[in-house]
Each structure stands twice: as C-alpha cells, then as structure tokens.
C-alpha cells in the first residue's frame, strides 16, 4: 500500500515537473515544434517531387529537399507579407471602426429604450479592437523574430534525419523491441498523415470559401480573414466560431445596412457547419475516436501552455498519446479513457 502511494505521488510530481518545464521552456520548445512541423512538410514535399512523372526518379534527395525548402520559404514570405500589409491597414482603421461599433450599440440601446445603454464591453469584457489587432501583429512579429532559431532547428533536423534510425536502434536491447518501435512509429505517421491531410484540405476549402464570400459581399481585408479561417480551422470547436465572429463584427460597422451582416454571418456559419460537421467527419471516419470532453480539456490545457500553437496541436498530441498508451498493458486504461467509445484496437503485434 505504501509503495503504491509513493508511486502515485512520484507520478503526479513528475507530471507537474514536466508541465512546469513546458511552460518556462516555451520560448525554446515552440520554435522546436514549428521546426518539426516544417521538417515534416519539407520531407513530404521532397517525396512528392521524387514521385513526379518522368523526371522524379532522376532527382536526388538533397536537391528535392532544397527545392521543397525554397518553395516553403517563398510561400511563407508571401503569407507574412499579406498578413503584415492587412494588419497594418486594419490597425490604421481600427479607431474609426471602434467608434462606429460604439455608436451602433448606443443606437440599439436607444431604440430598445434601455435605461443602462449596452456596450461591447458588456458582451465581451475588456475587448478592444485596437488591442486585438495589436495582439495579432505582435504574434506575427514574434513568429518572424524566432525564425532564425526555427531555421537552425530545421537545418539540424535535416542533417540528423539520415542517422536517426541508427540512433533509435541503439536505444533498444533487442531487435524485437526496435521493430516494435518502428511499427508504432509507422502507425503514428499513418494516423497523423490521415488527420493532417484531411484537416489541411478542409481548412484550405474553408479559407478559400471565406475569402470568396467576403470578396463578393465587398468586405475589406478578405485575404486576412480567409487566412484566419484557414488557420483557426485547425483549432477544434472555438476556432470556427472565432473565424465567423470577427468578419461579422466588422461588417456591422463597415456597411450601412444589416443585410450584408446577415449574408456574411449566415454564409460563413453555413460554410463552417457543412465543412466541419458534415464533410470532415465523413472523410475522417472513426480514425480519431477521441472523446469530445478530452478534446475540450486538451484544448484548454495546451492552449494555456503554448497558446495558439498548443490549441492547433491539441488533437495530434492526444492521438499520439492514445497510440502509445494503447500498446502497453499498464498504460492501456489511459488510452481507453481518452477514446470516444473505449475501442482503441489491439496492441501492435510483429509478424513472425
């Protein structure tokens, strides 16, 4: 009994220590995570280039990796330029939009004959449009500032990739354990490719449709809101809500009629509902099998630790934990609790 209590205490203390290290090491860990994501994308692009018809088989791996990195750098430069330009223009117009929003709420209070006029701060406490834009600009600046560290991480990952399997093999006492580790890694890679592939396709469709709708209606900063919709679609539940609220609020103060606000609100809401609740679940199938409660807890936890990046990564991290925990008898109950229906499949078995 005493040994069991001691083991429980050590486990809790270890989890608290890991959480503390994740928080205080955020400035170093977040660039590492971004570099890992970029390495995965670069490696995938490199493999696609090598599979290109006719010329793909003649392209060496180093050349395709360089081409993939150059393509990613070009696209990232375009995205940062677009975001910086749109945020700068929006920051200049923010005070005027804030005043229009305040007048709108005052007008609504007058028409409803309210004794205490309502304000935006009553609905969203401590909200300031200028401050929200400044926060977005600060996030873009911080990401650009950590670009050198991300590049260093990425460079060393590319250099170490060729010897990683040899190092991994040296960690295990027997070939059977090494083979099991490779099988688990393949399962993780398969599930991650399935999730990220579908999620990226749905996110691109969401961002493109958002951009097209806002452009047709005539709302400014359509490219910015399209990119925000694309990015926030990776954040479960609250991401789609936020990507609808901000364009709808801007349409309230930009247009002089309520019809465009209704078109944007209903249009963006329909896009999010159809893609997020009809098309995406059909494409995903039962591959995730994560409890909705676990998703919300993970969203809150990783958002508190790593901010927006933690919210984006919350589902992949849960999938990773489920796959690993399901392979061992002692940790299998954890995987069952994380799942939606308790079915986590059989542990991976090596073929003799």
| % of the chain exceeding 70 in pLDDT | 87
What single-letter DSSP state applies at residue 79?
Answer: H
Question: How confident is the model over 274-279, as a mean pLDDT?
Answer: 87
Q: Are 265 and 248 in contact (CB under 8 A)?
A: yes
CA angle 144-148-150, nearest 5°?
85
Side-chain half-sphere CA neighbours of 11 within 13 A: 7
CA distance 205 to 197: 12
pLDDT at residue 262 is higher than 80? yes
Query: Which of 7-16, 36-45, 56-65, 343-352 is predicted least confidently?
Result: 343-352
The pLDDT tens digits of the residues spanning 317-326 come to 888 888 888 8
CA angle 297-301-305, nearest 5°?
170
Q: Any alpha helices (H) in 218-307, and if so which ranges? A: 222-232, 238-254, 259-274, 280-284, 292-306
Q: Are 233 and 203 in contact (CB under 8 A)?
A: yes
**What band does 184 get if pLDDT is binned at 50, 70 and 90?**
confident
pLDDT at residue 120 is higher than 70? no
The pLDDT tens digits of the residues spanning 76-102 come to 888 888 877 777 777 777 777 777 777
pTM, two decimals, is 0.80
pLDDT at residue 214 is higher than 90? yes
What pLDDT, on a 0 to 100 scale, did the predictor assign at position 269?
Answer: 92
Side-chain half-sphere CA neighbours of 7 within 13 A: 4
Q: Are 153 and 32 in contact (CB under 8 A)?
A: yes
SS3 82: helix
CA distance 340 to 105: 43
What pLDDT, on a 0 to 100 scale, did the predictor assign at position 284?
Answer: 77
What single-letter DSSP state applies at residue 331?
Answer: T
Q: Are 97 and 254 in contact (CB under 8 A)?
A: yes
SS3 291: coil
Question: How confident is the model over 286-308, as a mean pLDDT?
Answer: 83
CA distance 78 to 74: 6
In the block, which residue shows the tokens 């890992």? 36
Question: Which of 45-80 are b and which e, b meaning 16 or more Cβ less than 10 Å from the residue's Cβ?
Answer: bbeebbeeeeeeeeeeeeebbeebbeeeeeeeeeee
CA distance 3 to 344: 30
CA nearest neighbour of 312 among 247, 207, 228, 194:
228
In the block, which residue shows the tokens 């807890």? 297
Q: At 112, phi and psi to the nearest 5?
A: -85, -5
Q: Are 104 and 253 in contact (CB under 8 A)?
A: yes
């Amino acid at each position: 009994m005493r040994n069991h209590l001691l083991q429980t205490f050590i486990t809790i203390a270890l989890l608290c220590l890991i959480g503390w290290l994740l928080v205080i090491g955020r400035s170093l860990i977040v660039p590492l995570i971004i570099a890992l994501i970029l390495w995965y994308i670069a490696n995938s692009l490199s493999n696609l280039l090598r599979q290109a018809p006719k010329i793909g088989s003649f392209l060496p791996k180093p050349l395709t990796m360089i081409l993939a990195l150059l393509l990613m750098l070009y696209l990232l430069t375009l995205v940062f330029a677009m975001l910086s330009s749109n945020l700068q223009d929006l920051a200049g117009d923010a005070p005027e939009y804030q005043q229009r929003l305040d007048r709108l709420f005052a007008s609504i209070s007058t028409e409803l004959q309210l004794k205490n006029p309502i304000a935006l701060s009553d609905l969203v406490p401590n909200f300031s449009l200028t401050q929200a834009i400044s926060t977005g600009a600060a996030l873009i600046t911080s990401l650009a500032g950590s670009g050198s560290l991300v590049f260093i991480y990425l460079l060393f990952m590319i250099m170490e990739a060729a010897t990683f399997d040899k190092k991994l093999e040296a960690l295990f006492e027997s070939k059977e354990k090494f083979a099991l580790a490779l099988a688990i890694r393949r399962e993780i890679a398969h599930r991650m490719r399935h999730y990220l592939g579908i999620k990226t396709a749905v996110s691109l469709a969401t961002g493109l449709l958002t951009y097209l709708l806002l452009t047709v209606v005539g709302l400014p900063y359509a490219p910015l809101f399209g990119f925000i919709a694309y990015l926030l679609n990776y954040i479960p539940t609250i991401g789609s809500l936020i990507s609808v609220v901000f364009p709808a609020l801007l349409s309230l103060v930009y247009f002089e009629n309520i019809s465009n606000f209704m078109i944007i609100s209903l249009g963006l809401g329909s896009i999010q509902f159809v893609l997020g609740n009809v098309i995406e679940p059909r494409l995903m199938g039962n591959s995730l099998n994560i409890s909705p409660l676990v998703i919300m807890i993970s969203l809150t936890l990783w958002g508190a630790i790593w901010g927006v990046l933690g919210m984006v990564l919350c589902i992949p991290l849960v999938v990773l934990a489920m796959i690993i925990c399901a392979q061992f008898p002692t940790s299998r109950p954890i995987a069952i609790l994380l799942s939606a229906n308790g079915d986590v499949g059989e542990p991976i078995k090596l073929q003799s």
